Amino acid sequence: MRINPETVERIKHAADIVEVVGDFVSLKKKGANYSACCPFHNEKTPSFNVNPSRQIYKCFGCGAAGDSIKFVMDVDGIGYGEALRYLAGKYNIEIEEEELTDEETIRQNARESLYIILNFAKNYYQHQLHHSDEGQAIGLSYFRERGFTSEIRKKFELGYSLDNWDSFSKEALEKGYSAEILEKAGLLIHKEGSHSAGYDRFRGRVIFPIHNIAGKTIAFGARILKSDKNQPKYLNSPETEVYHKSEVLYGIYQAKNAIRHLEHCYLVEGYTDVVSLHQAGIENVVASSGTSLTVEQIRLIGRFTPNITILYDGDMAGIKAALRGLDLVLEEGLNVNIVLFPDNEDPDSYVRKVGAEAFKAHLKKAAKDFITFKTEILLQDAGNDPFKLAAVIQEVVNSIVKIPDAIKRQVFFHRTSEMMRVDEQMLITEGNKLLRKQHSAKPADRQPRQTNAAPEGPNDLDALFSDGFGPFGGEPDAGPFVTEEAPEPLQRTKLHYQEEAFVRLLVVHGARELEPTISVCQYVLGQIEGIELRDPVYNHLLTLFRENFNRNQVLPTDYFLNHHEADIRNMTIEWLTQKHELSELWKEKYEIYVPFETDVLDKTAFNNILRLKKAFIEEKMKVCLQQAAHAQTEEDQHAVMTEFMFYKGISMAAAKELGSVIG
């Protein structure tokens, strides 16, 4: 089935970019726009920008850009139709669909089929928990013993799998699902040597559905309730196309709003820890589901908060093993605290034992920053052995230098020197040695990031755009407009920048009126009669404006925002998004008035035309100098230099008009 165009338009109009993006990252208001650390690449300083007026987003770090639909597709790794259905569900829009052709049905996204069968399985397990005799007697009794109310069971969509070989797969096959898709979803295990016979992966267990950040069921965790030494206590879904356990945190969908609001995340180990803490009113909690903490999981938390507290039970051997992996959290720039519970207690058992209020009080009282916690643990083991103490110093310093923020490193060097009663400068010196060693060991990291973005140095920008307006991002790939025999991509010369600034003016402001009945498009096209741009993409866009203007039409900005070519869409978003914006606080404090580009369009249009022509003239001057250097006779050289001086006179006149400083 395909969503009909009218429904697609309703979804597009209903979806608010701030609300949609805010479900996945923590946005901060910044002037008229919002910013955040980009969810598509690893960064410490926010370069991800959301523009609510244009309903677009743009990352100045990795170049990701688009609208609400594109964001959902990329952040969740799903197709266009799935993204539309997600947004339709979010905004309670009833989906009207059309029949697909046979060919379209064959091409239907395989990931969508997995989501459908996993959702069917979740509903099946929920039904068994509440409506089968076995589910009520075993599964429901277990959840009630733990104090899980009907509301919390519904919130986490808990279920039960019957204790026989194929009850679920039989039900699914009868409903028309194929054995192949059941196996791909990790729900069916084929018998060895057979492609038809198989059995359910989950049998006789309570079920904990695992959701992605958008709330879709992507896998299951299952706990056995009877004693069976031949069976693992917990059984999880295998890796599938939609489930990669190293990238998933149990409970992130239910916890993300609380994490964002409280600016803090608690990390536990198991499913029941998460559910029990939610039951106690502590909703900003997620679990690593028994796996070692991964960089991807850390970054997922980092989308919503830089503050994380890890809750450990009293198993010291397990804690020491886990400490080795926590340097990853420091490297990602998160602020890490640790909380220990008494022996033989975990978050689930302890909160049920002492109650919600006493549990919260313990979290506040027992929390220690990771460096302090690690130092204390290692010092206990070292005792008075000088060799072990030296090893502790090395180990702790090695953790401190993982912290990317220099001020935080200094604070921890000072605190550690007091705890270990060693010279602070000695710790700093050792830390600097390690930093230099790491730096020299990764020469590739020191190379400037290869990008097509325009230079950001003040000299470059001042020389090119003295009025402060110009391109706000990278050079787009010429994409479909370059033929197989096309030359190498043009270097970003001064002329190239002026062409970009000129085309940007048309795309962003072409439909605006400079004065009644005269649009920006009409004015600038009339001033550059006969000029062709050297960049093939920019020249293509200029041709589009000319062709449509000849039909008495001016292309609006939305035409390019919704263009069928991704390169043009992304380039338009770049041009609409400002990388930096002057703080409102500074404007008020220093009474700074910063005009909007629309306030000075007449000046901007005139200057851009003049700069473009000046850049063309300067290219001709370069050609003249090259010809003069290769002139065969004095007469030829004189003729070329006469032409050069003619062009120079025009260039100087243009520079004077622009107010440029002439050397």
User: What pLDDT, on a 0 to 100 scale, did the predictor assign at position 471?
Assistant: 30
Contact indicator for 270, 289 with CB cutoff of 8 Å: yes
The confidence score (pLDDT) of residue 464 equals 28
Whole-angstrom distance, CA of residue 200 vs CA of residue 33? 50
Could you tell me which residue, 483 or 141, shows the higher pLDDT? 141
Residue 342 has pLDDT above 50, yes or no: yes
596 versus 347: the higher-pLDDT residue is 347
Secondary structure (3-state) at 73: helix
Predicted local distance difference test score (pLDDT) of residue 344: 84
449 Cβ contact list (under 8 Å, min separation 6): none
At residue 478, the pLDDT reads 32
Asked if residues 26 and 260 have their Cβ atoms less than 8 Å apart, the reply is yes
The pLDDT of residue 99 is: 61
Residue whose pair of structure tokens reads 């502790």 in the numeric block: 392
Residue 591 has pLDDT above 80, yes or no: no
| Half-sphere exposure for 28 (CA within 13 Å, toward CB) | 13
Mean pLDDT on 647-651: 78
Q: Does the pLDDT value for residue 361 go beyond 90?
A: yes
Evaluate whether 659 touches 466 at the Cβ level (below 8 Å): yes
- The mean of the pLDDT values for the chain is 81
| pLDDT value at 560 more than 90 | no
Report the alpha-carbon distance of residue 616 to residue 142 in Å, rounded.
79
pLDDT band at 465 (very low <50, low <70, confident <90, very high): very low
Q: Which helix (H) or strand (E) holds 521?
A: helix 520-527
With 90 as the cut, is the pLDDT of residue 440 above it? no
Q: What's the angle, vertex CA 449, arms to CA 445 and CA 454, rounded to 5? A: 160
Q: What's residue 271's pLDDT?
A: 94
Global pTM value: 0.64
Q: How confident is the model at residue 46 (pLDDT cuts 50, 70, 90)?
A: confident
For residue 139, the SS3 value is helix
Task: Tell me the chain's radius of gyration from C-alpha atoms.
Answer: 31
Could you tell me which residue, 102 or 381, shows the higher pLDDT? 381
> For the chain, what percent of residues have pLDDT higher than 90?
28
**Span 107-133, average pLDDT:** 88
- pLDDT confidence of residue 288: 87
Write down the pLDDT at residue 474: 33
User: Which range is least confidently modeled, 353-357, 397-401, 614-618?
Assistant: 614-618
Work out the average pLDDT over 473-482.
34
pLDDT for 97 equals 64
631 or 110: which carries more pLDDT confidence? 631
Per-position b or e across 16-49, b if 16+ CB within 10 A of its CB: ebbebbbbbbbbeebeebbbbbbbeebbeebbbb
Instruction: Measure the CA–CA gap between 168 and 117, rounded to whole angstroms.
Output: 11
Q: Is the pLDDT of residue 320 over 60?
A: yes
Q: Which of the four pLDDT bands, split at 50, 70 and 90, describes residue 362?
A: very high
218 pLDDT higher than 90: yes
Give me the DSSP letters along 147-169: T--HHHHHHTT-EEE-SSSSHHH
Supply angle C-alpha 636, 639, 641, rounded to 5.
Answer: 110
Question: Is residue 569 a contact partner of residue 562, using CB atoms and an 8 Å limit?
Answer: yes
Q: What angle do CA 579, 580, 586 make, to 5 degrees?
A: 165
Residue 480 has pLDDT above 50, yes or no: no
pLDDT at residue number 108? 54
% of the chain surpassing 70 pLDDT = 83
Q: Say yes or no to pLDDT of 373 above 50.
A: yes
At residue 196, the pLDDT reads 57
Domains of the chain, start order:
2-106 (3.90.580.10), 110-242 (3.90.980.10), 252-443 (3.40.1360.10), 458-658 (no CATH)
> Among 52, 40, 224, 60, which residue's Cα sits nearest to residue 138?
224
pLDDT for residue 182 is more than 70? yes
Q: State the pLDDT at residue 186.
A: 94
**Considering only CA atoms, which of 58, 59, 51 is closest in space to residue 32?**
51
Identity at 379, one-letter amino acid code: L
DSSP string, 322-338: HHTTTHHHHHTT-EEEE
The stretch 400-412 carries a mean pLDDT of 90
Q: Measured between alpha carbons, how far is 403 from 414 in angstroms, rounded to an integer?
A: 14
The predicted pLDDT at position 594 comes to 56
Q: What is the pLDDT of residue 214?
A: 84
Would you state the pLDDT for residue 371? 92
The pLDDT of residue 131 is 95
Question: Would you state the pLDDT for residue 29?
Answer: 85
Report residue 94: phi and psi, to 5°: -70, 130
pLDDT band at 588; cut points 50, 70, 90:
low
Phi, psi for residue 337 in degrees, rounded to 5: -120, 160
What are 456's two structure tokens? 């950001």
pLDDT number for residue 446: 39
Contacts of 386 (CB under 8 A, 6+ apart): none
pLDDT band of 491, cuts 50, 70, 90: low
Question: What pLDDT does 451 receive?
Answer: 35
Mean pLDDT confidence for 247-263: 91
Name the least confident of 14-18, 200-204, 531-535: 531-535
What is the C-alpha separation between 376 and 528, in angstroms, rounded? 73
Q: Return all residues near 111 (Cβ < 8 A) that are at least 6 apart.
A: 77, 78, 79, 82, 241, 242
Report, as an integer, the average pLDDT of 133-139: 95
